[in-house]
């Protein structure tokens, strides 16, 4: 398996799209933007340099990353605007580091979450054990897969769409996105994450 060298422009475009339409995220905030970034990082781990660079630009608690620091200092709307501006600028800088993308089949966020649930350690994957964080994490992973592995991304999008249709029937909630069904019926927190795992496996066996 080889690797492909790339710049960071693809992630910059994804973040620019969020900047112009923040509602693409579930419960948009700097923290959930961080969830999106960590999902993207699942597929392109070489972009981890952005975390350290952003941390130097945003002051706050030492144990918190820039995503959280911008939220604490500036709140949802302004915090989102400031950290998006900084991240996009860094990613578009032609002198920034190059990263590589392996040619092997990428991880799927669903499998990663299910594995953590099986180990009873969801916090090892999810920075915040909420449906919103998990959804935005998955969105980032799916966007990265689409950017670098489009055929795999299509397969996974179709599987997720089948789960959503199944969940809509299960809860008699036609037209409602899967993450909002789970939040509405199972709550926003860790119990709903475990319920996601149960329902995912149930829909596969149905």
3-state secondary structure the chain: CCEEEECCHHHHHHHHHHHHCHHHCCCCCHHHHHHHHHHHHHHCHHHHHHHHHHHCCCCCCCCCCHHHHHHHHHHHHHHHHHHHHHHHHHHHCCCCCCEEEECCCCCCHHHHHHHHHHCCCHHHCCCCCCHHHHHHHHHHHHHHHHHHCHHHHHHHHHHHHHHHHHHHHHCCCCCCCHHHHHHHHHCCCHHHHHHHHHHHHHHHHC
Below-50 pLDDT ranges, the chain: 1
**Angle CA(127)–CA(7)–CA(69) in degrees, nearest 5?**
30
Q: CA torsion sign, 179 to 185 to 188 to 191? A: negative
Each residue's pLDDT tens digit, 25-68:
999 999 999 999 999 999 999 999 999 999 999 999 999 999 99
Planar angle of CA 76, 53, 134, nearest 5 degrees: 45
Reported as a single tens digit per residue, the pLDDT across 130-142 is 999 999 999 999 9
Instruction: Tell me the whole-structure pTM to 2 decimals.
Output: 0.96
pLDDT at residue 1, rounded to an integer: 46
Please give the pLDDT value at position 103: 81
């Amino acid at each position: 398996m080889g690797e492909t060298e790339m710049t960071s422009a693809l992630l910059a475009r994804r973040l620019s799209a969020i900047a112009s339409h923040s509602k693409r995220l579930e419960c948009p905030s700097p923290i959930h933007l961080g969830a999106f970034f960590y999902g993207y990082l699942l597929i392109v781990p070489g972009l981890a340099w952005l975390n350290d660079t952003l941390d130097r630009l945003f002051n706050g608690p030492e144990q918190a990353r820039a995503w959280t620091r911008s939220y604490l200092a500036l709140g949802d709307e302004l915090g989102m605007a400031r950290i998006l501006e900084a991240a996009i600028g860094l990613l578009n800088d032609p002198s920034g580091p190059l990263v590589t993308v392996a040619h092997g089949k990428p991880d799927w966020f669903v499998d990663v979450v299910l594995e953590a649930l099986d180990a009873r350690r969801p916090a090892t994957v999810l920075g915040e054990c909420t449906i919103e964080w998990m959804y935005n994490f998955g969105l980032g992973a799916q966007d990265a897969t689409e950017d670098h592995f489009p055929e795999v991304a299509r397969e996974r999008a179709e599987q997720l769409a089948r789960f959503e249709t199944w969940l809509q029937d299960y809860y008699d909630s036609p037209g409602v996105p899967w993450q909002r069904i789970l939040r509405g019926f199972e709550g926003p927190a860790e119990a709903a994450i475990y319920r996601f795992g149960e329902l995912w496996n149930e829909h596969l066996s149905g």
